[in-house]
Amino acid sequence: MFAAHPEFLRLSLWEGLEFGATPDSSTIEGRRRHYQDKLASIAEQQQAGSIDPDLDPRHLLVVILGVANYWHVLPQLVRIIFGAEPDPATLERHERFVAEAVRRIVAPPA
């Protein structure tokens, strides 16, 4: 979604600049439910044994969101790091890389 609509993430950054830690009160409840659903999913996967149960779901969700979204939030840094505008094949490799990195982060201890 964020690859197709990077403006959402950028507007979220702007919201953070404008409001700090207190987001727009007219949308807070819907957004809270959205993220509570994600936290519940993490907890369920921890109970099922597919995510390390020692990881705090809140910290984990923030880390995953950061890893997944950084590319789309700061495209100018991606261009600097990659030396050019990434082509679709590079973006696809990055998406696979992020999926593997998250898989390794959440993996239960052996």
Portion of the chain with pLDDT greater than 70, in percent: 99
State the Cα–Cα distance between residues 62 and 64, nearest whole angstrom: 6
pLDDT tens digit sequence for 23-53: 777 778 888 999 999 999 999 999 999 999 9
**Residue 67 and residue 100 in contact, taking contact as beta carbons nearer than 8 Å:** no
pLDDT at residue 12, as a whole number:
84
pLDDT at residue 20, as a whole number:
79
Look at residue 5 and tell me whether its pLDDT is greater than 90: no
For the chain, domain boundaries: 6-106
pLDDT band at 92 (very low <50, low <70, confident <90, very high): very high
- The pTM score is 0.85
